[in-house]
Amino acid sequence: MNRIYFIFTVGLIGLFGCNTVKKGITIPLIFASSAHDTLPYNIFYPTSYGKRGAKVPLFLWLHGAGERGYDNRNQLNNVVPYLISSEVQALFPAVLVVPQCPKEGYWAPVKRFEWSIINGGKVTPPMRAVIQLLDKLILDPNIDKERIYVGGLSMGGFGTLDLLSRRSDIIAAAVPICGGSDLEQVENYKDVPLWIFHGAKDDVVKPELSRDLVAKLKQIGSNPIYTEYPDGNHGIWEAAIREPELLPWLFSQRKGR
């Protein structure tokens, strides 16, 4: 990760009045963690943001390995255009946060293609920065702290579950798509509603990773929703995010219910 010691996040919600925030577009910013690791991210504010008495949810979206880098644009390629579309925002207005993992980084401590846990499961620098960014963003009084959601595809599916294992206290619901989890940490988020997706013919991240996660969750008393596409390979995320019941389900979840 690039290390810049005198960089600050520009435009954090808490630093600006709602009247000065640009709404309806993605805004590229940079966040610096306490370890001085920099994290590019885009943030989207719905037009309803800041209206008196109308708190909005926050949806953190984690991209896949192919969108890693430093341009602060590639992470917007998949799923994000749909989530910020007028069609979706009319029904489910939300602040959308889309960080970009550095080229050599990873959201979760796993060995790519083997999908085994590495470094003793220690939090990765990109995930540490994501958590610190999230902690700052939810200080915003215009954010509904009972409606903080996370989702992601492929590497971002692993990242979604890794984040849950570390900060399930703030997440109301999650949508991991074609990812996997450290099964030793599942107990940490057994009470968080999950809708898990995978393709039965996935030849990049084997579907057994999601199947094993679902089995483990059920074993400890959780009841996740699981959708497996019989003819789906790895790239199922655009179909998954458009499942008719997914967003109504997601945005109906509240922390503590």
Which residue matches tokens 């200080």?
139
13's torsion region: left (phi>0), alpha (psi -120 to 50) or beta? Answer: alpha
Number of Cβ within 10 Å of residue 197's Cβ equals 26
Which residue matches tokens 């509904």?
144
Tell me, what's the pLDDT at 257? 65
Give the contacts of 124 (CB within 8 A, at least 6 positions apart): 105, 106, 107, 108, 109
**CA separation for the pair 219, 130 (Å, rounded):** 30
Which residue matches tokens 């984040």?
163
Q: Do the beta carbons of residue 66 and residue 106 sit within 8 Å?
A: no
| Spans of all domains in the chain | 13-252
What tokens appear for 152 in the block?
Answer: 């992601």
Tens of pLDDT, residue by residue, the chain (257 residues): 444 333 334 444 344 455 678 999 999 999 999 999 999 999 999 999 999 878 999 999 999 999 999 999 999 999 999 999 999 999 999 999 999 999 999 999 999 999 999 999 999 999 999 999 999 999 999 999 999 999 999 999 999 999 999 999 999 999 999 999 999 999 999 999 999 999 999 999 999 999 999 999 999 999 999 999 999 999 999 999 999 999 999 999 999 76
Q: Do the beta carbons of residue 58 and residue 97 sit within 8 Å?
A: yes
Tell me, what's the pLDDT at 14? 42
Task: Please give the backbone phi and psi of residue 69, each rounded to the nearest 5 degrees, phi first.
Answer: 150, -155
Over residues 157-193, the pLDDT tens digits come to 999 999 999 999 999 999 999 999 999 999 999 999 9
Closest CA to 250 of 193, 212, 206, 199: 193
**Domain 13-252 falls in which CATH fold?**
Rossmann fold (3.40.50)
Radius of gyration of the chain (CA): 17
**CA separation for the pair 35, 25 (Å, rounded):** 30
**CA separation for the pair 193, 181 (Å, rounded):** 15
Tell me, what's the pLDDT at 7? 38
